[in-house]
Amino acid sequence: VTDYVLETVAYNLDEPSENQLVAITTTSISDPRKAYKTAEEYADKIMKSLE
């Protein structure tokens, strides 16, 4: 089984460049055909966790 890694990097562009990085998160999936749906759900969860 091959695992694929989704990585998300979040920045706050309203901050000075040295303070813009907010989060770096990764997750892995085993079925790339579901990557689009997984990425969408993953992005929603990331946004909620940063609120």
pLDDT in tens, 2-29: 888 888 898 999 999 999 999 898 888 8
Output the pLDDT for position 35: 74
Output the pLDDT for position 8: 84
Output the pLDDT for position 15: 97
- The pTM of this model reads 0.61
Q: State the residue range of the domain holding 39.
A: 4-50
Please give the backbone phi and psi of residue 20, each rounded to the nearest 5 degrees, phi first. -75, -30
Which one is predicted more confidently, 19 or 34?
19
**CA dihedral (28, 9, 45, 49) positive or negative:** positive
Domain count, the chain: 1
CA distance 3 to 10: 23
